[in-house]
Structure 1
Amino acid sequence: MSSWAVDMEKKLDDVEQPAKVERWLKHCIFRVPLRFKMAIGGVSCIYKPQTVSLGPFHHGDKDLKPMEEHKLRAVRHLLHRANCKTTLAELIAAVDEVVDELQDAYMDLGEEWQGKENRGKFLEMMITDGCFLLEVMRTVAAVEEKGSILMAMDYMHGDPVFSKHGIQHMKPFVQRDMLMVENQLPLMLLEKIVAAEEGKAPSTASINFMVLKFLESEDVPEGINLGLHPLDIYRTSLLNAGMKTKGDKQGQRHPQGLLKIKSWMCSCFKAHQQNIHRDRGVETEMGAPRLPRTNNPQRVVPRSAWKLSEAGIRFVPSSTRCLDDIDLDSWTLYMPKLLIDDSTAYKFHNMMVFEAMHVGTRNDVTAYVLFVKDLMDSADDVRLLVKKMILENDLADDNAAVVRLFNDLTRDVYKNRRSQLCRVRDDLEHHYINHRACVNMYEWWAHLRSNYFRSPWTVLALLTAVLFLIGDIVQSVYAVKGYDPKDHGKAKPKMN
């Protein structure tokens, strides 16, 4: 065997080492692959921390070095606080117990952080970053809690980070960096530091709550395991499907006018009574074709929010803000309210990358973004969703900026046709098929409203045309009724 063949055989033996394969399932913090960066035009700031490095991937970046001094000050204040029950040596020993798990959390961890010779360097970085994050979150909580003795008093009044003034200006930038997929700290690290500091293990809920409160998450899930890292627990808080109850859905009844006759129209034109059967994941409906649930589901052409509204679909805010709280109930599409601001892009981009990279994580956030993108073809769709309180647009630009935002979010994104929201989209299509007559009536009424009821003048012109038409009909009726065939048969008298 030639030398190059021997070298190749050795490479084949080394390429899939058992120890490396075992760590694949343990990875939960990743470097963003080039394909995701290229999809957004190479704009790396969406994935790059701007203020503080957390973890090894951006440690030592020259733009983030100014914060390293403040990290060490955070460790000093934490250890010298009166209620702290640990020393630096004991804290190092406590974190050293889980150092292998901490290293395994990072995929493609650099060689400078691995091996016995670099164990101390990795531990120092983990402890300083973990203590800094704890001190920032606690200081913010103390400053915002009225009537409490501010923990910020441990620091000088003019402290650039941990004073009341400094933390208020630092908070939004640390929040942003905490949601970067490359800039994560395992929450087990925070758990270990708190346990050493307090002399007893904290509850899982307390760690999750502290992180989510700092990130200003409105819904804190209960009864769940310790999050993998801040981005993971933040994403989980947006997908707490257990809070969703159909009976709690809110919203007004259908509007008056033409919509009142919906039930009568449906009863007149509905071909067959719905009777859905489920068999092996495939849904069929007796008497009417049902879009198949197969391994290769049929591509459903999405309709925009404006088109759906014209077809009689009502948009109503869900009872929760969970992104997966979307449901079609009769003629009403329930969706959670979403605030669109300057933070929306980096939050969703990083959560979507995490879903794509982490084994075992569902693509719920990605499916939601794709679903919303399909609803927004133009600024008119955004305007409608804002009016229906589904979106709250806080961008400095116009409504077209929201359309561009979701177009950027979904560029080169894999579309999983088996997600729960794809089933909602299929149900919308099924609704079109089984209620075609009703949909046609709604679309006719919407067309009439948009073309003839936009202003008093168009309404007046329409009424005038209708009155002239009625006049012509009445005149024709009277002419027909006054016509006598006998008179038509009589000969006209001759003139002499």
Structure 2
Amino acid sequence: MADEKDDPVAIRIDKKLKAISPISSNCCIFKVPNYLRKVNEKAYEPEVVAIGPYHHGKHHLKPMEEHKFRFLRMLLNEMKQDVTNYVMVMRGLEDRARKCYAEQIGLDTNDFVEMMLIDACFIIQLIRKFAMTTVMDDPFFKIGGFHNLLCRDLLLVENQFPLFILWKLFGMIEIPNPDIFRYITMNFFAIILPGKGCNRDSLKSIMEIKHLLGLVNDCWQPSESEMVAYRKKTKPIEWSFMHCATELQEDGIRFEKADGSSIFDIKFENGTMKIPKLKIDDHTECFFRNVIAFEQFFPGRSLNHVTDYMNFMDCLINSSKDVELLRRRGIIKNWLGNDEVVATMFNRLGDSVSISRYSFYSEVFSNVNRYCSKQWNKWIANLKHNYFNSPWALVSVLAAVLLLLLTMVQTIFSVLSYVK
């Protein structure tokens, strides 16, 4: 009988176990799992530029690789340095950078270091030159919509790059001021944001932020006043489904565009839903899907505000009629031109997404449902819907009320006469 240690299955499994690379606790850049990707695969794929190893070398993204080298040459000429110093710095960061990626990377040391330098330089130069407006002289930026496409690709979950490398390179070029770095970065990405954001004072340290998508997610948040109110709640409320916009309108709820400091500052007061303006264009779905996917990777976060916002809007929008209502109220700016497409987008954004029991909008859900459950509000809404939609119906109601009043007056006089 052969030695048990020589068993071919045991040998094969042992080799596979040794080949598995350990996943670092610093891992923060993932590939989108199939259960999310299958809903809309194109939303997670870069169209013009690869950043990092996951899409590195793909044929349709190669035209931008030469342009990255132009940006590096532009930097070296500006700083009057050769490339050696930058390469040495990147070599010192290689091991830490590799640990940021959840998937095994097939690039050897030299290829990986080169990719780090070229990609980091490209991103930093884009952000810097855009802040100085000189990047607009680049022929690429004269192509219509190219800035939007770059922003789209740079905020894909799989196209992320460790922020500590970008911060290190930025500090070699500029005075390393975190506030300036945040400001010019958000300024560059502002074009793709579908609504107002709020750069709050209580942001994370720059060293706590994992990558550009994490930075945007950290800066593009509810306003500070809304966050303070949310944190002060002593007892969390579980969110509950509410009716769509057209049905809520029939229940007597009015919709108004709010001029808040953040797209997330949705309020319900005295029967009126106040919602900040939402801009929807060709890149909105892609942006939402990738930010939501990022929030799914870190379930321990105190607030998944974009996921909660998506869930709220999904409840509010069931069909093109709901989109039309919100568009007419100035809440939705539909650059797609088709209300049905917008409705379908929101109805599918939540597919396979894990939703927390406690939403940032739980109180709004609760107050809306409480308002709709009151019979008086339903009666008033029904009266408006059935009788106040046309002048003839209104005349009929007024005539009926007048007749009732006359009858009451006549009855009172009859009683008084009888008493006398």
Offset, 1:347: 0.7
User: Which residue in 2 is equivalent to 1:35?
Assistant: 35
Q: What are structure 2's unaligned runs of at least 5 residues?
A: none
- Please report how far the alpha carbon of residue 14 of structure 1 lies from its aligned counterpart in structure 2 after TM superposition: 5.0
Q: List aligned pairs for 1:32-431, cutoff 5 A.
A: 32-38=32-38, 40=39, 43-81=40-78, 84=79, 86-110=81-105, 112-113=106-107, 118-143=108-133, 150=134, 160-161=139-140, 165=142, 169-198=145-174, 202-216=176-190, 218-222=197-201, 223-226=203-206, 227-244=209-226, 281=235, 300-311=240-251, 313=253, 315=255, 317=258, 319-323=260-264, 325-328=265-268, 333-358=273-298, 360-361=300-301, 362-398=303-339, 400-429=340-369
Q: Which whole-Å deviations, capped at 9, do the CAs of 1:456-494 have from their partners, x for residues lacking one?
A: 1222233345556667778889999999xxxxxxxxxxx
Provide the rounded CA distance (Å) in 2 between the counterparts of 1:30 and 1:176.
Answer: 17
Q: For the residues of structure 2 that align with 1:7 and 1:366, how far apart are their CA atoms?
A: 46
Following superposition, the deviation at residue 440 of structure 1 comes to 1.6
Q: 1:425 to 1:26 in 2, by over 3 A?
A: same
Q: Which AA in structure 2 matches 1:338? A: L
Q: CA RMSD in A?
A: 3.5
Higher helix share: 2
> How far did residue 245 of structure 1 move?
7.4
Larger gyration radius, structure 1 or structure 2: 1
The superposition leaves residues 270-311 of structure 1 with CA deviations (integer Å, 9 ceiling, x where unpaired) of xxxxxxx96xx47xxxxxxxxxx6xxx6x8342223444454
Match of 1:252 in 2: none
For residues 356-375 of structure 1, give each alpha carbon's deviation from its aligned partner in whole angstroms, at most 9, with x where no partner exists: 12464443211211112112
Report how far residue 9 of structure 1 moved.
6.9
Cα-to-partner distance string for 1:152-211 (whole Å, 9 max, x where unaligned): 77xxxxx5336xx35x7531211111111111122222222222334xx61222222222
Structure 1 pair 376/69, CA: closer, same or farther in 2 (3 Å)? Answer: same
Separation in 1 of the partners of 2:381 and 2:31? Answer: 49
What is the TM-score of this pair, normalised by structure 1? Answer: 0.70
Per-residue deviation, 1:44: 2.1
Structure 1 pair 246–318 and aligned structure 2 pair: CA distance change class (3 A): farther
Once the 2 structures are TM-superposed, how far is the Cα of residue 430 of structure 1 from its aligned partner? 5.1
Alpha-carbon contact 1:90-1:196 (below 8 Å) kept: no
Q: Which residue of 1 aligns with 2:22?
A: 20
Native 8 Å contact 1:92 1:123 kept in 2 = yes
2 CA distance for matches of 1:239 and 1:348? 14
Q: Deviations over 1:3-22 (max 9, x none)?
A: 2663587379659x7x714x
The answer (yes or no) to whether the contact 2:155–2:212 under 8 Å persists in 1 is: yes
Q: Which among 382, 388, 394 is matched to residue 447 of structure 1?
A: 382
Query: Aligned partners of 2:84, 2:165: CA distance in 1, in Å?
Result: 16
Cα distance in 2 between the residues matched to 1:190 and 1:301:
42
Q: Deviations over 1:99-121 (max 9, x none)?
A: 222211221032x22xxxx1111
Q: Does structure 2 retain, via aligned residues, the 8 Å contact 1:318–1:326? A: no
Query: TM-score, normalized by length of structure 2?
Result: 0.82
Task: Assess, with a 3 A threshold, how the Cα gap between structure 1 residues 12 and 48 changes in structure 2: closer, same or farther.
Answer: closer
Q: Which has the higher contact order (CA 8 A, sep 6+)?
A: 2
Report the AA paired with residue 192 of structure 1.
K
Q: What SS class does the counterpart of residue 68 from structure 1 fall into?
A: helix
- The 3-state SS of whatever aligns with 2:72 is helix
> 1:142·1:152 contact (CA, 8 Å) conserved in 2?
no
Q: Percent identity?
A: 30
Gap change, CA 1:482 and 1:458, over 3 Å in 2:
same
Task: Check the 8 A contact 1:71/1:129 in 2, yes or no.
Answer: yes
Task: Tell me, in whole angstroms, the C-alpha distance in 1 between the residues paired with 2:102 and 2:358.
Answer: 28
Kept in 2, the 8 Å contact 1:311–1:440? The answer is no
Is the CA contact (8 Å cut-off) linking 1:219 and 1:237 kept in structure 2?
yes
Change (3 A) 1:97 1:423: farther
SS of 2:333's equivalent? strand
User: 2:59 is paired with a residue of what secondary structure?
Assistant: coil
Q: Does structure 1 conserve the Cα–Cα contact (< 8 Å) formed by 2:371 and 2:377?
A: no
Aligned residues: 401
Separation in structure 1 between the aligned mates of residue 62 and residue 398 of structure 2, nearest angstrom: 73
Shift in CA distance, 332/467, structure 1 to aligned 2, threshold 3 Å? closer
Given that 1:31 and 1:182 are in contact with CA atoms closer than 8 Å, whether structure 2 keeps it comes out as: yes
- CA distance in structure 2 between the partners assigned to 1:359 and 1:26 by the alignment: 16
CA distance in 1 between counterparts of 2:80 and 2:68 reads 20
Distance 1:4 1:367 in 2: 51
Distance 1:92 1:235 in 2: 30
For the residues of structure 1 that align with 2:109 and 2:267, how far apart are their CA atoms?
50
Q: Following the alignment from structure 1 to structure 2, what is the Cα–Cα distance between the partners of residues 104 and 161?
A: 33
